[in-house]
Structure formats: structure tokens, C-alpha cells
Amino acid sequence: MNMEKELKLALQRTEPESGFSGRVLVRIQTARSSGNLDRPVHAGAWARIAATVLLVVSTGLFSSHYLMEIRRDAAGERAKQELILAMRIASEKTNLARYEVLGIGSSISQEKGDRQ
Amino acid sequence: MKKMIRVIAVAVMAVAAGPLAAQPNWKVDFRELTKRAEETVEVNLDGRMLRLATAFLSSSDAEEREIREIVSGLSGIYIRSFTFSRDWDYDKSIAETVRKQIGSGWEKLITVRSRTNEDLDVYVRPGATALEGIFIIAAEPREFTIVNIVGSIDIDKLGRLEGQFGIPKLEIESESTVERRVNR
């Protein structure tokens, strides 16, 4: 029984203190003038998302440029090695021809010397 | 297995030159030679690849500077080289097939025919002031090589490379058989 009475008393309507309405209105005015009430709640999230996307895109661009540089370097090194190999073979065969000519030249001179 | 690895490595090098790397205009089927060869070398360096390669040559290294100098006037280097495990393990008539591919504008400089050693043909393309190309066909007992260099080339400088840059000096046999003709 006591519980019922206490409950009734607790839930009974009471009038607010004087000036309560005025104080609430002032607080609303203050919040409105600072813009806190009008800004959408998720605007900050969109800005963060945009910044993240920008960061990812620029990182991606930088990475692909970097990868292209690495690939170009690798291709250049391979081409250089091919060139060195080509020079080795070309030099060897050129000198083979040169030695053949010199060998003929010296044998011709030797024949001339033998005849004289 | 080793042979396969070498062939694959060289083929990768050729492919890695890029899809735009030019092939020489030879209508010669090298498949049989490739099948029989212990090692195959294929080099296709057109003007673009030569420029790329020379960009990676070191300017502080004397030998690489020399190569850069030799290559500066070139527009292409094309090489096919086949090495065999036994003497004359290939059909020598391939050399004649290649000779037939050499078009006008090329002059025969040297012809060497040997019964036991190499057959050698050297063609050059004369230019106004310098040679504008060289074509060498070397049919040796265990190696068949074609060298085609297009562009302004100094043969003396090219020959001097041997012994430098890790390129071993050629060991020439002192004995040789008779029957040699030299066209000048």
C-alpha cells in the first residue's frame, strides 16, 4: 500500500520553477546561433570519407607510377644484358673473319717468300 | 633439363623485349636447328630497344662507354646462334638458305670455305662514309651463328671489344686446311 502511495506521489505532475521556459528558449537560441542545431549530423563523416577516397586514389596512382618505373628498369636491364650478349657474339664472329683474312694474307706472303 | 632452362631463359629475354620488338625480315625456318641445338641464342634489338639498353649502360665504366659508342649509330642488332653437342649435328644447307635472304645493297666482303673447320660469309652494306651494316654467317662444327647489324658500324671498334668486358679472346687454331677464297 505504501508503495502505491509513493508511486502516485512520484508520478504526480509538478509545476516547473519560474523562469524555466525562458531559460530553455535562451538555450535554444544560443545553439541555433552557433550553428550546432542546423548542421546535418553526418556531414563530418562525408568529409572523412572524401578524404579517405582521395588518399586511396592518390596512393594508387603513385603506386602504379612506381610499378611502371620498376618494370621499365627491369626491361632496361634485360635489354642491356641482351645488348652485351649481342656485342660478345658479334665481336667474336667479326674477329673470326678478320683472323681468317690475316691467316690467308700470311700464307700468301709465305708462298711468295718460298718462291723467291 | 639444363638445355631447356637455357632455351627458356633466352626465349624469355627475347619475349621480354616487348611485343613491339622487331624481328628481322628473314624467311628462314630455324625450328629444326632449335630442336637439335644444345643451346639457342636469339637477340632482337631494334632501334627502340637499343636506345633503352644504352640508357642503362654505365657512363663511368670504360667498356660500357665503348659499347655505347659502337651502338650509337645502330638501328638494329639481330642474332641467331645455335650450339651443338656434336660436330656438324645440323644441316649445313641452312647457311645457303640464309645467304639467299640477303638482298640487294649488300656486298660480299669475305667468303671462307673449309673442309674441316668453319665456313664463313661476311657481307657489308656500304654507306657514303662508313659501313651501314654487316651480315655474318658462320657455320662452325659445333655452332651456327647469324649476326645482322644494321646501321653505321665501326668494325675495328667492334673487334676490339673482344678481351674486354668479360668477352673472352677468340682462340684461333693455328692449322687450317687449304681451299680458301677471299673476295675483296
Q: Do A80 and B176 touch (CB under 8 A)?
A: no
| pLDDT of B18 strictly over 80 | no
| Count of helix runs (H) and strand runs (E) in chain A | 3, 0
Residue holding cell 665504366? B61
* Tens-digit pLDDT profile for residues B126-173: 988 888 999 999 999 999 999 999 999 888 888 877 665 554 554 444
Higher pLDDT, A70 or B24: A70
pLDDT at B66: 87
User: Residue B169 class from Cβ within 10 Å (0-12 exposed, 13-18 middle, 19+ buried)?
Assistant: exposed
Q: Do B52 and A79 touch (CB under 8 A)?
A: yes
Q: Are B76 and B17 in contact (CB under 8 A)?
A: no
pLDDT at B183: 39
User: Residue B117 class from Cβ within 10 Å (0-12 exposed, 13-18 middle, 19+ buried)?
Assistant: middle
Question: Per-residue confidence at B181, pLDDT binned at 50, 70, 90?
Answer: very low
Of residues B57, B136, B180, nearest to A80 (C-beta): B57
| pLDDT of A29 strictly over 90 | no
Write out chain B residues lying below 8 Å of A104, CB-based.
180, 182
B22 near A CB under 8 A: no
The three grid cell numbers given for residue B105, joined into one nine-digit string: 645493297
Q: Do A75 and B16 touch (CB under 8 A)?
A: yes
B residues 100-129 lying closer than 8 A (beta carbon) to A: 109-110, 112, 118, 120, 122
Mutate to test the interface with A, among B46, B50, B59, B136 (most CBs of A within 10 A): B136
Q: Identity (one letter) of the amino acid at B155? A: I
A18: left (phi over 0), alpha (psi -120 to 50) or beta: beta
As a whole-number percent, the residues of chain A with pLDDT over 90 amount to 11
Question: Per-residue confidence at B1, pLDDT binned at 50, 70, 90?
Answer: low
Q: Do B16 and A94 touch (CB under 8 A)?
A: no
* Tens-digit pLDDT profile for residues A75-97: 899 999 999 999 989 999 988 88
Write out chain B residues lying below 8 Å of A94, CB-based.
134, 136, 147, 155, 158-159
pLDDT at B45: 93
Strand boundaries in B113-142, DSSP class E: 119-126, 131-140
The three grid cell numbers given for residue B73, joined into one nine-digit string: 649509330
pTM assigned to the model: 0.64
Centroid of chain to Cα A48: 18
Q: What is the ipTM score, two decimals?
A: 0.75
B79 near A CB under 8 A: yes
Q: Do B110 and A97 touch (CB under 8 A)?
A: yes
Q: Do A93 and B161 touch (CB under 8 A)?
A: no
